[in-house]
């Protein structure tokens, strides 16, 4: 939410030298350097941050990618890797004197083994395309971020993407077996493998969620799982959010792991319903969507148990999807919450924090109080099962002061998340948006450990610089601002 | 399996200076330096490798541990962290001019939250003690290595320990939420957290399984799960190992995730049965143990489905445990395979490799051929569900040449594991035993990445040096030996 950054002065001669070097490595249609061509790459889903890059490279082969990184390393040109650009934290925002490397042209499914239940795919394969290819074998790839029609597997790897089913089926980390990547010095490194526990350090886990800072993906081997024959979802209404929050805890405490467990507050429900007609209870203070999937008998039994638990926990009404069409309709409201906010308000700011499930009521009350403080409305959708909260702050950037108030409102929400023992991002990543908040989340020793690991992969700090991990200088400056009374208090206690 | 290492020359004065420094930091009963006191620490479960340390420190508090590491860092004294010493790869073997730090005295359960289903424990808490403490709330800690009566949670973290139930319930990595540790320079670093996906790099995953090379654990927060009300196990007999191996694949292909899925070949069964009287079919070429746990109705249904699949896959006989006592009896044979080998043979060498499940038959045939080549018998027990093979090579160290043949037999098995796409260790770790095999498993670029990450945590390489990750020099020497015809071929192909 900064103004567009002015391109820093880069000597024309150096720019020409870099382009000349890259032209020798890529076919002409794989290198974009005119503004009209690079414009579509100036931002990702965090559209408030924009920057034109020096050039955009779209390699078609691993060999081209290796040559590209070797050349950029030699010339000290910073790199921003990019998937489909659907990220929400500015992780793929270009830098003026750097190259964007898009892996969009490397989009083939290389192998699909229904027996081993794996698929080996190139980085630019779309998330949903994997499940589409696997459907012939009644298999699918589980993580389902809302952007799954567009987002690519390498982007999912960079962000450790989840989705509404991650409580039961896990994040990208839990569904990827191996990553083949090119390091900043142009070497191939393979991480992970087929074994449950690979020897050596678990660098696959470090790589997944590293936001393009450790290498550029050239192949991903994903796990496929059998498509459950049946799924049904319960919509439960609650007269207040505290009861709803407690019901979430009760479901988990009953030993049930729902395939999805989502909560929406009244503001969200009323925002979505006229637009989507999902059949939501607009009189409820909050609704819960609680899904079961599996073999039909298991689903029926689990739906029954969930219903009992929810009613015992104080649900005022319950509806169960009677058909696949109705199930899709129940979900459509949740999945369209962000577009609905866009219809209702000229601008909205989607936050992404996590909290311990049991602190939900407290955090929602805190956010309600902040609505008064900042004079802005906020709708809350919540991946309740895994404690990932998405407050949508609505504002009008054309009204003087609203933009700033929205930004401060967002910072205050994240501060509250950390204060109750949560984190500053659940699934959208740090990118450039939350780089300062990292200084509040982690101690200096912890940030230093991150930097050390980053250095192990990219000693020259050329890969996606100034994203995801703050420098220690930045944290020191942040600490000084907080000492003068910034909104985001350094609340983490060692041992808390 | 080297001869005990002779202590390298360490100046008496330096030794005295180090001891003097440490005496100022610990109560007298927490620092052992006399041979009679340090002798119990000269090896871990890999008893063939022994070395007396300079001293053994047993801190009682985190503050003592921090001071200890700060002092060792300043004095450049290498450290070997140690849990219960049950490890099987020599990861806790002392070094002559270094200090063993045992966290055995830090053995309190600090908090147990039945609602959040977590326990926060000190490093020296025994694995089983966590489940015992959680039993009052019908909860338990899932990973169950065979040594669970003795092994500590910090040792489990160091080795990423599993157990016979890890196919369904995961390894240590999947059951630990947070680790608090002291870095080599004596600073506190907390890794992980309650959220499904923490911001920043996933250093918790790197730390788990890092074999004491990145820090010394002071607290672990583990996930507890509800104890399933019922568990039953099927014992299935097979007339040949190939059919047995295929049956494993069929169970998984049917979408079943058994709570345990173990295979034993005829040699193992006949070795165990007279000793344990588990009721095993000694006429079978192989037996499978296939467990289901959960709600009673679910278990009955799953046992029925498993039985159908196993019979269809060619099981010659099937028995299902009819009581908890019978279930425990079925498992007792599997769990006592190693002690049984000790009864049958003066010495045995327990290997630990992984293979893709579908290559099992081929690997077992390969091992059978090796029995002829090396003139030694080998019993095979197999965590079939996750492809983790434990061949037990039997030999008599008093017979000239048998020790060497056993060692070469073991190397050949690991080479075969890597050749079919597996790994050199499933769960016992690399330690000192498999440090050379790491050079065969990984490319130079991959080993360099491991070293880079190690350096990020411990730039002076004082924490458990010469374990788990080979130096690039070592890999170069290894490569030269292989070029001259060593048994362990460098078989990994980039892209294979």
Q: DSSP string of B33-75?
A: -SHHHHGGGS--S-TT-----SEEE--SSHHHHHHHHHHHHHH
- In angstroms, the CA A258 to CA A293 distance is 8
CATH number assigned to the domain comprising residue A199: 3.30.465.10
Q: Is A358 on the interface with B (CB under 8 A)?
A: yes
Please name the residue of chain B whose CA is at the shortest distance from the CA of residue A221.
B495
What distance in Å separates residue B463's CA from the closest CA in chain A? 15
Chain A residue closest in CA terms to B254: A226
B259 and B359 within one domain:
yes
Q: Give yes or no for B422 touching A (CB within 8 A).
A: yes
Mean pLDDT of A193-217: 90
B385 to chain A, closest Cα gap in Å: 10
Extended beta strands in A283-387, E state? 286-294, 317-320, 347-350, 353-354, 377-383
- Establish if B230 touches chain A: CB-CB under 8 angstroms: no
- The answer for A 257-286 residues in CB contact with B (under 8 A) is none
Q: Does A222 touch chain B (CB under 8 A)?
A: no
B143 and B278, same domain (yes or no):
no
Distance from the A314 Cα atom to the nearest Cα atom in chain B, whole angstroms: 18
Q: Is residue A488 part of a domain?
A: no
Inter-chain residue contact B115 with A253, CB threshold 8 Å: yes
A441 in B contact zone (CB under 8 Å): yes
**Chain B partners within 8 Å of A156 (Cβ):** none
Contact by Cβ (8 Å): B31, B22 = yes
pLDDT at residue B10, rounded to an integer: 59
Residue at a domain's end among A339, A362, A383: A339
DSSP secondary-structure letter at A41? G
CB contact under 8 A, A210 and B201: yes
Q: How many CB atoms lie under 10 A from the CB of residue B329?
A: 18
Q: Considering CB atoms only, which of A426, A443, A451 is closest to B195?
A: A426
User: Which of the listed residues A71, A102, A133 is the one where a domain comes to its end?
Assistant: A102
Domain identity same for A128 and A202 = yes
Interatomic CA distance for residues A199 and B415, integer angstroms: 14
pLDDT value, residue A491: 34
Interface check A475 vs B, CB under 8 A: no
Residues A150 and A221 in one domain: yes
Chain B contacts of A196, Cβ < 8 Å? 162, 166-167, 171, 354, 386-388, 426
Closest partner residue to B197 (CB to CB) among A160, A449, A455 is: A160
Q: Specify the range with the lowest mean pLDDT, choosing from A5-14, A76-85, A115-124, A310-319.
A: A5-14
Q: Is residue A185 part of a domain?
A: yes
CA separation, residue A178 to residues A55, B313, B440 (Å)? 30, 30, 18
Contacts of A208 in chain B (CB under 8 A): 202
Distance CA A14, CA A78 (A): 13
- Count the alpha carbons within 13 Å of B49 in the hemisphere toward its beta carbon: 21
Domain end call among B102, B127, B160: B102
How many other C-beta atoms lie within 10 A of the C-beta of residue A298?
Answer: 18
CA separation for the pair B449, B444 (Å, rounded): 9
Query: Do B35 and B178 fall within a single domain?
Result: no
**B213-264: per-residue pLDDT in tens?**
999 999 999 999 999 999 999 999 999 988 998 899 899 888 888 999 999 9
- What string of pLDDT tens digits covers the 496 residues of chain B? 444 454 455 578 899 999 999 999 999 999 999 999 999 999 998 888 899 999 999 999 999 999 999 999 999 999 999 999 999 899 999 999 999 999 999 999 999 999 889 999 999 999 999 999 999 999 999 999 888 999 999 999 999 998 888 888 999 999 999 999 999 999 999 999 776 677 889 999 999 999 999 999 999 999 999 999 999 999 999 999 889 988 998 998 888 889 999 999 999 999 999 988 999 999 999 999 999 999 898 899 999 999 999 999 999 999 999 999 999 999 989 888 888 888 888 888 888 999 988 888 889 889 999 999 999 999 999 988 888 999 999 999 899 999 899 999 999 999 999 899 888 888 889 999 889 889 988 999 999 999 999 999 999 999 999 999 999 999 999 888 877 654 443 333 222 2
Q: So what's the pLDDT on residue A387?
A: 87
Q: Are residues A289 and A379 in the same domain?
A: no
Please state, in angstroms and rounded to a whole number, the distance separating the CA atoms of residues A216 and A102. Answer: 10
Tokens 């995730």 correspond to what residue? B257
Long-range (24+ apart) CB contacts under 8 A made by A201-204 are: A201/B206, A201/B209, A201/B210, A201/B450, A201/B453, A201/B454, A201/B469, A202/B160, A202/B173, A202/B205, A202/B206, A202/B208, A202/B209, A203/B206, A203/B449, A203/B450, A203/B453, A204/A176, A204/A178, A204/A179
Shortest Cα–Cα distance, A416 to chain B (Å): 15
Q: Between chains, do A199 and B443 touch, taking CB under 8 Å as contact?
A: no
Q: Report which of residues A206 and B245 the model is more confident about.
A: A206
pLDDT at A493: 29
* Mean pLDDT score, A224-248: 93
Beta bridge partners of A319: A235
Query: How far is the C-alpha of A251 from the C-alpha of A262, rounded, in Å?
Result: 12
Question: How far is the alpha carbon of A69 from chain B, nearest alpha carbon, in Å?
Answer: 15
The angle formed by the CA atoms of residues A31, A33 and A35, to the nearest 5 degrees, is 140
| A200 vs B195, B438, B456: nearest CB | B438
CATH of the domain at A478: 3.30.70.2740
Would residue B420 count as lying in a domain? no
Q: Which residues of B touch A434 (CB under 8 A)?
A: 199
Q: What is the pLDDT of residue A3?
A: 45
B116, B195, B426 member nearest A197 (Cβ): B426
B430 to A171: CB separation less than 8 angstroms, yes or no: no
SS3 B139: strand
Q: What is the mean pLDDT of residues A263-281?
A: 92
Residue to mutate among A197, A249, A302, A419, with most B CBs inside 10 A, is A197
- Among left, alpha and beta (phi > 0; psi -120 to 50; other), residue B180 is beta
Closest CA to B223 of B125, B147, B144, B112: B112
Q: Do B206 and A202 touch (CB under 8 A)?
A: yes
Residue A100 pairs in a beta bridge with A56, A80
Residue B335's pLDDT is 83
First to last CA, chain B: 32
Residue B485: Cβ within 10 Å count? 7
* Domain assignment of residue B445, yes or no: no
Interchain CB distance below 8 Å, B199 and A424: yes
For chain A, how many structural domains are there in total?
Answer: 4
Rounded CA-CA distance A349/A395 in Å is 8
The span from the CA of A29 to the CA of A13, in Å, is: 23
The CA–CA distances, whole Å, from B493 to A187, B371, B417 equal 14, 28, 14
Mutual angle of helices A266-276 and A337-344, in 10-degree steps: 90
Residues 9-68 of B with CB under 8 A from A: none
Residues B191 and B282 in one domain: no
Tokens 């019978």, located at residue: B326
Considering the domain boundaries, does residue B444 fall inside one?
no
Of B199, B202, B438, the CB nearest to A206: B202
List Cα–Cα distances, B288 to B201, B250, B259, B284, in angstroms. Answer: 40, 13, 13, 10
Contact indicator for A205, A157 with CB cutoff of 8 Å: no
Distance between CA B296 and CA B228 in Å, rounded?
9
The DSSP symbol for A42 reads S
Q: Do B430 and A200 touch (CB under 8 A)?
A: yes
Euclidean distance between CA atoms B38 and B210, whole angstroms: 25
B69 and B190 fall within a common domain? no
Whole-angstrom Cα distance, residue A338 to residue A357?
A: 22
- pLDDT for A9 equals 56
* CB nearest B189 (choices: A162, A358, A446): A446
Residues A208 and A266 in one domain: no
Q: How far is A15 from chain B (nearest CA, A)?
A: 31
Contact flag B423-A199 (C-beta cutoff 8 Å): yes
Are B241 and B343 contained in the same domain?
yes
DSSP letter, residue B332: H
Q: Residue B116 and residue A445: Cβ atoms within 8 Å? A: no
Number of A:B CB contacts under 8 A?
Answer: 204
Q: What tens digit of pLDDT does each residue of A404-433 get? A: 999 999 999 999 998 998 888 888 899 998
Task: State yes or no: pLDDT of A486 exceeds 70.
Answer: no
User: What mean pLDDT, rounded, does chain A reach?
Assistant: 90
Considering only residues B447 and A116, tell me which one the structure prediction assigns the higher pLDDT.
B447
Residue A147, pLDDT score: 87
Residue B265 placed within a domain: yes
CA-based nearest residue in chain A for residue B249? A115
User: What CATH number is attached to the domain comprising A21?
Assistant: 3.30.43.10
pLDDT band for position A196 (50/70/90)?
low
Give domain status of residue B32, yes or no: yes
Range of the domain at A404: 345-483
Three state DSSP letters for B142-197? CCCCCCCCCCEHHHHHHHCCCCCCHHHHCCHHHHEEEEEEECCCCCEEEEECCCCC
d(CA B429, nearest CA chain A) in Å: 7
Instruction: Assess whether A118 and A96 both reside in one domain.
Output: no
Once rounded to an integer, what is the mean pLDDT over residues A264-276? 92
In a shared domain, residues B330 and B198: no
Six-digit token string for B268: 């193992």
Query: Residue B196's pLDDT is what?
Result: 67
CATH number at residue B291: 3.30.70.3450
Distance from CA of B424 to the nearest CA of A (A): 7
Greater model confidence, A48 or A177: A177
Q: Is residue A60 part of a domain?
A: yes
């Amino acid at each position: 939410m900064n103004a567009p950054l002015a391109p820093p002065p880069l000597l024309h001669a150096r720019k020409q030298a870099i382009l000349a070097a890259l032209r020798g490595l890529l076919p002409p249609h794989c290198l974009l350097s005119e503004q009209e061509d690079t414009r579509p790459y100036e931002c990702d889903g965090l559209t408030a941050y924009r920057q034109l890059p020096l050039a955009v490279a779209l390699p078609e082969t691993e060999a081209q990618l290796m040559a590209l990184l070797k050349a950029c390393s030699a010339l000290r040109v910073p790199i921003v890797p990019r998937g489909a650009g659907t990220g929400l934290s500015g992780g793929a925002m270009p830098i003026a004197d750097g190259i964007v490397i898009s892996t969009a042209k490397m989009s083939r499914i290389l192998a699909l083994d229904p027996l081993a239940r794996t698929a080996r795919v190139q980085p630019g394969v779309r998330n949903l395309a994997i499940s589409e290819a696997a459907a012939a074998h009644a298999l699918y790839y589980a993580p389902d971020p809302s952007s799954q029609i567009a987002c690519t597997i390498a982007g999912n790897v960079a962000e450790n993407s989840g989705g509404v089913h991650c409580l039961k089926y896990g994040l990208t980390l839990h569904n990827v077996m191996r990553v083949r990547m090119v390091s900043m010095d142009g070497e191939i490194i393979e991480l992970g493998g087929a074994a449950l526990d690979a020897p050596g350090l678990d660098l696959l886990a470090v790589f997944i969620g590293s936001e393009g800072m450790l290498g550029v993906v050239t192949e991903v081997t994903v796990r496929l799982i059998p498509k459950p024959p049946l799924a049904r979802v319960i919509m439960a209404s609650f007269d207040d959010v505290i009861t709803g929050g407690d019901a979430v805890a009760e479901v988990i405490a009953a030993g049930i792991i729902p395939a999805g467990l989502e909560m929406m507050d009244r503001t969200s429900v009323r925002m979505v319903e006229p637009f989507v007609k999902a059949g939501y209870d607009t009189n409820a203070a909050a609704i819960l969507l609680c899904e079961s999937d599996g073999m039909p008998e298991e689903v029926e039994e689990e739906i029954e148990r969930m219903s009992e638990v929810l009613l015992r926990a104080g649900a005022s009404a319950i509806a169960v999807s009677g058909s696949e069409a109705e199930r899709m309709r129940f979900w459509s409201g949740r999945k369209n919450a962000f577009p609905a906010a866009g219809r209702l308000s000229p601008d909205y700011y989607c936050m992404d924090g996590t909290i311990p499930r049991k602190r939900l009521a407290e955090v929602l009350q805190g956010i309600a109080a902040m609505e008064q403080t900042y004079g802005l409305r906020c709708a809350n959708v919540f991946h309740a099962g895994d404690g990932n909260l998405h407050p949508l702050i609505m504002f009008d950037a054309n009204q003087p002061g609203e933009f700033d108030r929205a930004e401060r409102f967002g910072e205050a929400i994240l501060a509250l998340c950390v204060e109750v023992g949560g984190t500053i991002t659940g699934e959208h990543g740090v990118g450039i948006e939350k780089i300062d908040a990292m200084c509040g989340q982690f101690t200096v020793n912890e940030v230093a450990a991150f930097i050390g690991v980053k250095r192990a992969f990219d000693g020259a700090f050329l890969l996606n610089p100034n994203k995801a991990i703050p420098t220690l200088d930045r944290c020191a400056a942040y600490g000084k601002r907080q000492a003068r009374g910034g909104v985001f208090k350094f609340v983490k206690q060692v041992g808390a």
